[in-house]
Homo-oligomer: A and B are copies of this chain.
Amino acid sequence: MTNMNKQVKLISRPVGLPKLTDWEISSSEIPSINDGQVLIKIIYLSIDPAMRGWMNEGKSYIPPVGIGEVMRAGAVGVVVESKDNAFQVGEHVNGLLGVQEYVSMPGSELNKVDASLAPLPMYLSTLGMPGMTAYFGILNTGQPKEGETVVVSGAAGAVGSVVGQIAKIKGCHVVGIAGGADKCKYLVDELGFDSAIDYKSEDISKALRTHCPKGIDVFFDNVGGDTLDAVLAQIRFKARIVICGAISQYNNTTAVKGPSNYLALLVNRARMEGIVVFDNAAHYAEAAQEMGGWIAEGKLKSREHIEEGLENFPEVLLKLFRGENFGKLILKVTDE
């Protein structure tokens, strides 16, 4: 222990893609803790598309990260000091710990994770926020029925890959949209998707006509933009469009591209609905239990893409927006 706490702070609001100069990497003393608090050494940081939204000024589902503040991030860490009887030194926890090496937090804001049941990074992917987002988004909002056609964008990502596998478990015909032949091969060969569309080399509309000959019943969208429009043009009667994200639009410097084909909702009496995972917090444990069962049965697989070094956070975040990760993007801060 060096007695110092390295932190990544947001120092200016990015316009378009975040620049390296939007961040400051600095060190301060490791915080002391008060009664009811826990000191955590952070091991793995979750790198998520939602981070881009947290960097913008303005009303959203969660307040923006303030200028000069440590960047918000989901993370897994280990308790190194505790003044909360519910947490013991050496236990692992996850929560919104931030892009830093250490954090002191009230125990009430932490969840324990069991490193003996699953590898720690999995608590940031399938058993963490992305997995929960996928689980509640596809089941509660997408409501896939056996035999229906389900399309997922960002299909090789942390959320999309779980969405597609759950839809397969529910007996659907599942088509993923992802970037690159490797990711597409992975979706079909490893995760059991029925087919995959490489948006980098294929015409999405044409490929959807081939792979979804009956049309699309459920679309789980992480991407937005032209992908959303292409799908809307091929939805079926009473289709459900789950709006989970729009990574294609997050770094726009012009207005978001709204879906020109939204009147397909009218023609098909279809529904488009936004989801935010935090609304389901009361049911995370049940979801984790069911997904844990699927993992044990080999029906639900995950893949993590682990980069290293807290100081690399600004660059690693850009990999996400460039689609260079393959699997859930995680930044390792220190050894377990």
* A residues in contact (CB < 8 Å) with B: 59-61, 224, 229, 243-246, 249, 255-276, 279
Shortest Cβ distance from A239 into B: residue: B274
User: For A229, what are the chain B residues with a Cβ–Cβ distance below 8 Å?
Assistant: 258
B266 near A256: Cβ-Cβ < 8 Å: no
A272-B272, A272-B273 known; A60-B260 Cβ under 8 A: no
User: For A270, what are the chain B residues with a Cβ–Cβ distance below 8 Å?
Assistant: 273-274
User: For A256, what are the chain B residues with a Cβ–Cβ distance below 8 Å?
Assistant: 260-263
- CA–CA, A275 to B269, complex, Å? 5
| Contact among B249, B261, B267, B268 with A263 in the assembled complex (CB-CB below 8 Å) | B249
Given contacts A258-B261, A258-B262, 10 further A-B contacts (CB under 8 A): A243-B266, A249-B263, A258-B258, A262-B262, A264-B274, A269-B276, A270-B273, A271-B274, A272-B272, A272-B273
User: For A255, what are the chain B residues with a Cβ–Cβ distance below 8 Å?
Assistant: 260
| Contact among B259, B269, B272, B274 with A279 in the assembled complex (CB-CB below 8 Å) | B269
Interface hub of A60, A61, A224, A266 (most chain B Cβ within 10 A): A266
What's the dominant secondary structure at chain A's contact region?
Answer: loop
User: For A279, what are the chain B residues with a Cβ–Cβ distance below 8 Å?
Assistant: 269
User: For A276, what are the chain B residues with a Cβ–Cβ distance below 8 Å?
Assistant: 266-267, 269
Could you write out 12 A-B pairs with CB less than 8 Å apart?
A: A243-B263, A256-B261, A256-B262, A258-B261, A265-B273, A266-B274, A266-B275, A266-B276, A267-B276, A268-B274, A269-B275, A271-B274
- CA–CA, A271 to B262, complex, Å? 13
- CA–CA, A255 to B264, complex, Å? 13
Shortest Cβ distance from A58 into B: residue: B267
User: For A262, what are the chain B residues with a Cβ–Cβ distance below 8 Å?
Assistant: 243, 256, 258-259, 262, 272
- CA–CA, A226 to B319, complex, Å? 35
User: For A273, what are the chain B residues with a Cβ–Cβ distance below 8 Å?
Assistant: 265, 269-272
A272-B272, A273-B270, A274-B270 known; A243-B265 Cβ under 8 A: yes
User: For A261, what are the chain B residues with a Cβ–Cβ distance below 8 Å?
Assistant: 256, 258
A253 → chain B, closest Cβ, in Å?
14
- CA–CA, A258 to B259, complex, Å? 4
A219 → chain B, closest Cβ, in Å?
13
B274 near A269: Cβ-Cβ < 8 Å: yes
User: For A60, what are the chain B residues with a Cβ–Cβ distance below 8 Å?
Assistant: 267
User: For A245, what are the chain B residues with a Cβ–Cβ distance below 8 Å?
Assistant: 266
A51 → chain B, closest Cβ, in Å?
15
- CA–CA, A245 to B263, complex, Å? 8
- CA–CA, A142 to B276, complex, Å? 21
A34 → chain B, closest Cβ, in Å?
33
A61 near B272: Cβ-Cβ < 8 Å: no
A189 → chain B, closest Cβ, in Å?
32
A272 near B271: Cβ-Cβ < 8 Å: yes
- CA–CA, A268 to B264, complex, Å? 22
User: For A257, what are the chain B residues with a Cβ–Cβ distance below 8 Å?
Assistant: 258, 260
A98 → chain B, closest Cβ, in Å?
22
